[in-house]
Amino acid sequence: MEVIICSSYEELSRAVAGVVADIVRAKPDAVLGLATGSTPLGLYKELIRMHKEDGLDFSKVTTFNLDEYVGLQPDHEQSYHYFMRENLFKHINVDPANTNVPSGTAENYDEYCQQYEQQIKDCGGIDVQVLGIGGDGHIAFNEPCSSLASRTRIKTLTEQTIDDNARFFDKKEDVPIFSITMGVGTILEAKKLLLLANGANKADAVAAAIEGPVSAMCTASALQLHPHGMIFIDAEAAGKLKMREYYEWIQTQKPTAPAS
């Protein structure tokens, strides 16, 4: 894992956008795994800027989102379909037919989840997966105790996640209890993982993910199993890391390190 501590949320967003943009430039038909939540908003703003000002071309890109609330129609303002349209897709030249967000209104979820997994495989797998992290250490909606081998499926949200996400709804009772989410096993198959976190409220989860044991109790710790995981955090989110100085030292030494 590479831990990159950024001086601000803006720097973090620019750094992650730079990694995504390099992948899209090197492989114009790249498959991007995308996330929702407040954390990737700065990344999406920067990608939109790069599209508008630098001509970053998304016309051949395919996208797969991590998750969706069960029961919300795609035009519901808190659905992740709506989020992605408003915060990224409608501002860049991605073909809407190539954007995939799990359905929150499928008739048969067993079949639908298998189909979603198959679609990812048919596209050759995800080249780079963007991830946030929940206060309870979840990635996507893989709440504590999710199998680290799990696949796309229905997951019941924890009380903490419902509380965390209540800020986006009129009232807590409106937050859906169920989600459809890629599994940890699905996520680990992406060729590169970029986990983003900012703010002191993520510091415990970030420390558990990076320095704790690999555990289903903190599904973000599964990144320790991935050969190409990058974790971008701001100073506040880095606040509880024991080896912080070492991670910073690695970054300062990087230009002189032997090529790998």
Residues classed as catalytic:
67, 136, 138, 143
Task: By CB under 6 A, tell whether 132 contacts ligand PGA.
Answer: yes
Nearest residue (CB) to ligand PGA, 10 versus 95: 10
Q: Does 142 bind ligand PGA (CB under 6 A)?
A: no
Maximal CA-CA distance, the chain: 55
* By the rule CB under 6 A, 134 interacts with ligand PGA: yes
The yes or no reply on residue 179 touching ligand PGA (CB under 6 A) is no
- Does 113 interact with ligand PGA (rule: CB under 6 A)? no
Nearer to ligand PGA, 13 or 39 (CB): 39
37, 102, 104, 137: residue in contact with ligand PGA (rule CB under 6 A):
37
38 makes contact with ligand PGA (CB under 6 A): yes
Q: Rounded to whole angstroms, how far apart are CA atoms 228 and 223? A: 9
Q: Is 39 in the site for ligand PGA (CB under 6 A)?
A: yes
Given 12, 133, 210, 238, the residue binding ligand PGA (CB under 6 A): 133
Nearer CB in complex with ligand PGA: 19/162: 162
Size of the residue set binding ligand PGA (CB under 6 A): 6
Q: Which is nearer to ligand PGA, 134 or 176 (CB)?
A: 134
Q: Which is nearer to ligand PGA, 42 or 89 (CB)?
A: 42
Q: Between residue 62 and residue 91, which ones bind ligand PGA under the rule CB under 6 A?
A: none
Q: Which residue has the tokens 């919300």?
A: 72
Tell me which residue has its CB nearest to ligand PGA: 37
Q: Considering the complex, what minimum distance in angstroms separates the CB of residue 24 from ligand PGA? A: 22
Q: What is the DSSP string of the chain?
A: -EEEEESSHHHHHHHHHHHHHHHHHH-TT-EEEE--SSTTHHHHHHHHHHHHHH----TT-EEEESEEETT--TTSTTSHHHHHHHHTGGGS---GGGEE---SS-S-HHHHHHHHHHHHHHTT--SEEEE---TTS-BTTB-TT--TT--SEEEEPPHHHHHHHGGGSSSGGGS-SEEEE--HHHHHTSS-EEEEE-SGGGHHHHHHHHHS--BTTBGGGGGGG-TTEEEEEETTTTTT-TTHHHHHHHHHHGGGSPP-
Which chain residues interact with ligand PGA by CB under 6 A? 37-39, 132-134
